[in-house]
Structure 1
Amino acid sequence: MQKIPTWILVVAVALFDENGRVLLQQRPAGKHHGGLWEFPGGKVESGEIPQVALVREVAEELGIGLDPAALEPCAFAEEMGCPAIVLNLYTCRSHAGEPAGLEGQQFGWFDLAGAAQLALAPMDRRLLQQLVR
């Protein structure tokens, strides 16, 4: 009998600016995939709705506000491991405030071709490929 992994739900956003660029941030050194680039987001806590978790995570990491109603489900990726992770990606085309690396992380706005040239975390690379289709 195959053991079923414990799945961790993670949410992220492909936040686009008025020029069609997407906001990406660099994972802190010392964390899983440290130094690699990713879509902003984080873990969904117990009892949280995914969109609400995403709004919370982006505010904590980058200090910007998102409207949960403006988040559109877009794609997902999975990573088997201990724990196993499923990452749901949403798109959004509006935000309040200017981003800041509140956790000391680097961030930037990139066109999709430029984003593809970055050292992306594996699931984020798969998600980016789904965006450019």
Structure 2
Amino acid sequence: MADSSHGYVRDRRGCCHWGPHGAAGLLLRQGPRFLLQRRSWRVHHGRTWSIPGGALKSGESPWDGARREFAEELGSVPAVCPVRTFVDDHGGWAYHTVVADVVELFGRHGGDGEGAAHRWCTPAEIDSLRLHPGFAAAWPQLIAGLGMAGR
């Protein structure tokens, strides 16, 4: 059976996105820091910083999809407590950023190579990084929605 999460879709604004059923990513928070990954040079918008994430499968919830993508890209998902899901609706296509607090220490255990590196960053450090364009556009709303703007 073909993977229904593969392929591009055009939103109502005419922009093209990967994942006919939308996409989701997992933004882990540990105190005042967030876990980001640097995208491999081999992927779209390579060498930028973002969160592990990708296309949702048909019928998959954003929570399940974000955790699946995180595990694929970083090798495992630590024990987490969901905080909030932010939806960036593009009109016919949406990206779901699932924010979760880490409740145990996290160590990377492999992954599929989409991420070249990962690191914990404060909001100020994130502001200074070369971010994936979609994450860069959503970041101010994410940090404000979490009550951490200006930190």
* TM more than 0.5: yes
Note closer, same or farther for the CA distance 1:25–1:64 as it changes in structure 2 (3 Å cut): same
Q: C-alpha root-mean-square deviation of aligned residues, in Å?
A: 2.7
* TM value normalised by structure 1: 0.77
Aligned pairs, number: 126
- Could you say which structure has the higher strand fraction? 2
**CA separation in 1, counterparts of 2:54 and 2:109?**
16
1:48-94 alpha-carbon deviations (Å, 9 max, x no partner): 122111111111111232568x33333233568xxx85211111002
Of 11, 28, 35 in structure 1, the residue corresponding to residue 40 of structure 2 is 28
Residue ranges of structure 1 left out of the alignment (5+ in a row): none
Alignment of structure 1 residues 1-133 onto 2, 5 Å = 7-17=20-30, 19-66=31-78, 70-77=81-88, 85-94=93-102, 97-100=106-109, 102=111, 103=113, 105-133=116-144
Q: Which runs of 4+ in 1 moved over 6 A?
A: none
Asked which structure has the greater RCO (Cα within 8 Å, sep 6+), the reply is 1
- Report sequence identity in percent: 26
Closer, same or farther in 2 for the Cα pair 1:71/1:32, shift >3 Å? Answer: same
SS of 2:129's equivalent?
coil
